[in-house]
Structure 1
Amino acid sequence: MAVFSVRNSHKRRYVVLLLSLACFILYRHFRGPAGKIRINRSKGLGVNSSQFSLGGEPFRILGGSLHYFRLPRAYWEDRMLKMKACGLNTLTVDVPWSLHQPEHGEFRFQGGLDIEAFLHVAAEVGLWVILRPGPYIGSDLDLGGLPSWLLRDREMLLRTTYPGFIAAVNQYFDKLIPKVVPFQFQKGGPIIAIQVENKYGSYAKDGNYMSFIKEALQERGIREVLLTSDDHEGLRDGGLKGALRTLNLQKMNHDDIKYLEAVQPNSPVLVMELWTGRCDGWGGLHHSFPAEDLIAVVREILRRGMSINLYMFHGGTNFGFMNGALANPSYKALVTSYDYDAPLSEAGDYTPKYHLLRDLLSTFNKEVLPEMPGVRWKEEYEAAILFQHLSLWDALPYTHKPFKSQFPVNMENLPVNNGNGQAYGYTLYETTITTGGSLKSERNIRDRAMVFVNQSFIGIFHHKNLELAVPDGKEKRTLSLLVENCGRVHYGKDMDDQRKGIVGDILLNHTPLRDFTIYSLDMTPGFIVSLYRAPWKSVTIKPSFPGFFQGRLFVNGYPSDTFMKLPGWSKGVVFVNGQNIGRYWDAGPQQALFLPGPFLNSGMNQVIVFEEAEADFKIQFEDSPDLGMIVDI
């Protein structure tokens, strides 16, 4: 009897083990990206009642925006896990055409631009995805994410059915859309919706354009629900048959919600962009949307049964020259930080907004929220001494071959970069003068120019300063204008007029200047590497400006995030190990640049600074950000 009991006991354990294993396999098989039992994949996001459904089951979108191109690839998962721990179930991501196709025939989907890898991470973390492929995305990017080479066509009409624009969009979509089609919900992926363009209602130059974009997506295999997205200004003109209208706002606008419910009855309401803060412009203040005000809006939206997407949940950084600019009430370029006063800071740290959101959203989640991931260590490194100097003039042999032209030529139409022109950075225009007098820009400087006579600085042209005095002199002298593209406007009806450099005549004593030698200083990684061969000099010799300064940062052990401060410097760009970290400017508000640990090496790191006017010869590295003086929205 005892032997029989033992045998039965073993059999019972064996059966229990098999049942447990079978349950585990079934659980893993039916587990969906949102961490729950997978629902019917033949039924995508449903929009035919007052509430969303997904796979036939009730569903509320609790989303947040996150841009893979504004943070290191090594941090994608960290930011997504923090999103999940806050109680969100959906990630909204924009796709920047300008970064993926920097030249007409060149496409980049590697490294930090690997959209497929990003979508894989989202699925593994357990987040649904709303994809915003553009072609125009806005996103406070230079030209709203449209590539600058489009502007080489003098007749170009962006965001219309103009043949040149349509041909370019088709070429881009032919590369992009096949990469994301397999990630759709009905194919087992995380994408539950796709947005058709962005905020077209406030642009609305072409009544056929949105239909073209919709068809372009669908004929390439997009099958999930389509959305449009507009704010108060464009809500009435932004609709598209066969696409769900969604709303953008910062504070509750009951009239817009009523209008949306009236023109789109028996449909769920999604606030596609609930702005958690605002971008900052150089020369202004750091904008803050108080946490209590944000939470009050979120609470009211959810109380009404609506869905929501937080723009931004995590902003990140405008590395390089990707920042956009504001056109109204006057031109203002955006700063390097895209912190946005979001729930997760620029460096991925938790904020009071995050904690209040997590508390609120926990009441709308049926499951206990995951533990909050740890915060990454920030390091206060020893200051880097920039001990070598290279003047701008000595760096010119390492640029593109200079171009000679009787007339000034704008950046985009320069014969560089395989016929794609210059997208970003600086352009140097030089000509010969034989007299002094009044030099007028005629508003043809885009956006800011340092002016020199025989390499001696005489003044600056910008949007408010349109005239300079040139010293008298009858001998031949070289007049140089170093023009910076500070960022193309990213929103509004002025986008067709965003060519940079010198875009028309510059007058000296009412006579147009002619016979230019033009240097393209786009400051690409290749150009920075080429400077290694240049004749650098010790900074013990009085340096000239503008110029490049070189030094070293030593990192002992595993690199950590840090913040670069440049007190005593004026305006310029910082490169670390060839990576363009972004612009700095003592005009503020931003006083420190975020430097992520993945951009650093253990041991020695090269630091190069391009400075326009003044240098302190060292960079400080601190463990906390400084976004400047704050003003509440």
Structure 2
Amino acid sequence: MSFTIQDQFYLNGEPFQIISGAIHYFRVVPEYWQDRLEKLKAMGCNTVETYVPWNMHEYKEGQFNFEGLYNIRQFIQTAAELGLYVIVRPSPYICAEWEFGGLPYWLLKDPTMKLRFSYQPFLDKIDAYFKQLFAQFTDLQINYGGPIIMMQVENEYGGYANDQAYLRALADMMRKHGAVVPFVTSDGPWHDMLDNGSIQDVALATINCGSNIKEQFERLRQFHGHKKPLMVMEFWIGWFDAWGDKEHHTRDIRSAAIELDHTLQEGSVNIYMFHGGTNFAFTSGANYYERLAPDTTSYDYDALLSESGEITPKYKAFQEVIARYTDLPDVPFSTKIIKKAYGKVALKDKVSLFNVLDLLAEPIRSAYPLTMEELDQPFGYILYKSQLGKGRKIEDFRLIQCMDRAHVFINEEHMFTKYDRDIEDKEVFELTAAENELTILVENMGRVNYSVKMNNQHKGIKGGVIVNGAFQSDWEHYNLPLDNLEKLDFSRAYREGVPAFYRFVLEVDEAGDTFLDFSGWGKGVAFINGFNLGRFWEIGPQKRLYVPAPLLKKGINEVILFETEGKASDSISFASTSGLE
């Protein structure tokens, strides 16, 4: 078997049009991979594309995970069993609205790190990772009878830099670790992006865009210089949401379907996203232009399948277009999926963070504040404590190089919350007690996943804390990745208005997909049976968290909310729809 790139794509010597859709295995529970892939095939696609998140496969340096949500081999094999081909994008950087664009946080422990450049320590880290990663799927390439037909070198690199030596080093590394299929690059067709991000003697240049396809294909055709296949590697059919957006982003069906038709008239396509899925836990990234824009937990993307895998009207419209170019297969859907509205669930227990801090973390002492990266903490929250001493007026209080959101307390009483651009603004207040303890709870809202801010993504407090014009010293640090909530003791005290944990018991007769409605709650993160569902925030546009049925069990299910704003209710509820309709 073979797949080659010449004047067009050839599969086993015959011309082949790639009709692909993006599904990120790491955004979908494994029990639903089969269902999503069956629906992809039924729409008329012959290929599935996926990114690969380095930061989840090598969560801590040298510790690799290819199980559960991150079992990339199983995902590829499931696609193969359905007769689908696979495009793998194993770049160390993926963007994807994913925490740090897929780069692991621990890279930032090197104070001179140059991300996405031919900086040898960075390349060495990639090499060690690729050795483990490529072992998962090199035998699944089409040359060996598997489904993988192409791999991508880097991702949208032309929008970041133009270090061609870096791109070539990555391609060489991929070959070294067993890649034998053709390579591609993908970039926007604007400005210098194709020139910056392409290595045409090594990889086919493709484009990422969502409109004006005919015009963009002409730009790509001219860039190629001679006849090569045209492909939109990311045909954007929707968009992602950030917390605080006025509404859920959607794209009208008609314009998207017309652009798909224009694409298939001249070339191949990968639909981004066919199915968006969910940014479980702390995996959502952020963008930063004029302000910080952290992405929501839902990655619905207004895709062809909803976040919970339902077929949409846009799916039907795309299926009609695809039917003009290929025969639609008859694909039975083998996974039984039901939606359940479990209704209201009353609060069982609650306890304040300050009263269980000793159970969740051991204090780490330092003369100055340390960042998450220095403390080897990937995600979540970090709490800082320091003694301010006697009562007096504080005329100049500032947080220096603090990211991303900080709640400031004096003697466990909330003073103010600082966020993004106002985080270094000066505050003035009075210390009224004889002795005063300063506590700062800092939340990592997601490391920026695109553009020039990526090299400055240290979370927590990096610069220091100014108290009356001078740096405050002597700190205790408490790491709170919230991966050990089994240690909580709900018999301890609770106080209103401060960060706290809330426990609920959901009893079900039958497990079904459901949505946790967090109306009446402020901001935080939710867990079900120990699984981190992701962040919630009252500012929306997302109002409910998706709970796939495989996370539930018949009988008793434990739900825990960690809420940071002191805004809580006496119940939560579970609905059968996302609320984005």
Settle same-fold status: TM greater than 0.5. Answer: yes
| Corresponding residue for residue 327 of structure 1 | 288
Instruction: Tell me the alpha carbon deviations over residues 527-558 of structure 1, each in whole angstroms, 9 at most, x when there is no partner.
Output: 11222xx25358xx75452010111000113x
- Tell me if the contact between 2:38 and 2:332 (Cα under 8 Å) persists in the aligned partners: no
What CA deviation, in whole Å up to 9, does each residue of 1:289-348 have, x standing for no partner? 111111011011112x21000011000000000000011132110100000000000000
Partners of 1:343 and 1:224 lie apart in 2 by: 29
| Equivalent residue number for residue 315 of structure 1 | 276
Question: Larger Cα Rg: Structure 1 or Structure 2?
Answer: 1
1:557-597 alpha-carbon deviations (Å, 9 max, x no partner): 3x000001012111111010000001110111100100000
Aligned AA (2:125): A
| Counterpart in the other structure of 1:291 | 253
C-alpha distance in structure 1 between counterparts of 2:397 and 2:189, whole Å: 40
1:63 aligns with 2:20: yes
List aligned pairs for 1:82-161, cutoff 5 A: 82-161=39-118
Kept in 2: contact 1:388–1:537 (CA 8 A): no
Match of 1:282 among 238, 243, 268: 243
Correspondences of 1:416-427 after superposition (within 5 Å)? 421-427=376-382
Residues 352, 495 of structure 2: 8 Å contact kept: no
| Alignment-mate amino acid for residue 205 of structure 2 | R
Between stretches 155-164 and 358-367, larger displacement belongs to 358-367
For 1:372 and 1:300, how far apart are their aligned partners in 2?
30
Deviates more, 1:504-513 or 1:217-226: 504-513
Give the aligned partner of residue 569 of structure 1. 521
Superposed CA offset, 1:393-436 (max 9, x none): 1221122321111111111101xxxxxx1110000011111333
What do you get for the CA RMSD once the two structures are aligned?
Answer: 1.6
The partner residue of 1:502 within 461, 476, 479 is 461
Aligned counterpart, 2:131: 174
Answering whether residue 553 of structure 2 is matched by residue 601 of structure 1, we say yes
Q: Distance in 1 between matches of 2:28 and 2:351?
A: 30
Partner residue in 2 for 1:20 = none
Query: 1:197-236, aligned counterparts within 5 Å?
Result: 197-204=154-161, 206-233=163-190, 234-236=193-195
Q: Shift of the alpha carbon at 1:512? A: 1.6
Cα-to-partner distance string for 1:370-405 (whole Å, 9 max, x where unaligned): 356787321010322222111111221122321111
**Deviations along 1:162-187, whole A, 9 cap, x unmatched?**
12211110110010112110000010
Matched-pair contact (CA < 8 Å) for 2:163–2:196 = no
State the Cα distance separating 1:254 from its structure 2 match. Answer: 4.6
AA in 1 matched with 2:130 = F
Q: Quote the Cα distance in structure 2 between the aligned partners of 1:588 and 1:375.
A: 31
CA distance in 2, matches of 1:368, 1:406: 66
2:383 equivalent to 1:428: yes
Structure 1 residue 47 corresponds to structure 2 residue 9: no
- Provide the C-alpha distance between the structure 2 equivalents of 1:251 and 1:130, rounded to a whole number of angstroms: 22
User: Residue 508 of structure 1: CA displacement?
Assistant: 2.0
Question: Could you say if the C-alpha distance between residues 310 and 375 of structure 1 is closer, same or farther in structure 2, counting changes exceeding 3 Å?
Answer: farther
The separation in 2 between residues aligned to 1:471 and 1:290, in whole angstroms, is 54
Output the CA distance in 1 between the equivalents of 2:468 and 2:115: 37
2:508 aligned partner:
555
> What are structure 2's unaligned runs of at least 5 residues?
none
- State the alpha-carbon separation in 1 of the partners of residues 365 and 302 from structure 2: 46
Distance 2:72 2:272 in 1: 19
2:497–2:567 CA contact under 8 A, matched in 1: no
- Cα–Cα, structure 1 residues 469 and 385, in superposed 2: closer, same or farther, change >3 Å? farther
Does the alignment pair 1:514 with 2:467? no
Give how far 1:608 is off: 0.6
**Matches of 1:235 and 1:215, distance apart in 2:** 20
Partner of 1:384: 345
CA contact (8 A) 1:549 1:617 kept: no
| Aligned AA (1:245) | A
Question: Which runs of 5 or more residues in structure 1 are unaligned?
Answer: 1-40, 415-420, 629-633
The one of 565, 568, 590 aligned to 2:542: 590
- The whole-number CA distance in structure 1 between the counterparts of 2:400 and 2:377 is 20
Contact kept, 8 Å, 1:411 with 1:423, in 2: the verdict is yes
Any residues of structure 2 matched to 1:358-507 within 5 Å, and which? 358-366=319-327, 368-370=329-331, 376-414=337-375, 421-433=376-388, 434=390, 435-441=392-398, 444-465=401-422, 466-473=425-432, 475-507=434-466
Q: Report if the CA contact (8 A) 1:82-1:373 is conserved.
A: no
CA gap of 1:443–1:243, structure 2 versus 1, over 3 A, is: same
Q: How much has 1:108 moved relative to structure 2? A: 0.5
The aligned runs of 1:606-625 (5 Å cut-off) are 606-612=558-564, 613-625=566-578
Distance 2:336 2:74 in 1: 23
Q: Quote the Cα distance in structure 1 between the aligned partners of 2:474 and 2:145.
A: 61
CA distance in 2, matches of 1:459, 1:498: 23
Give the C-alpha shift of residue 149 in structure 1. Answer: 0.6
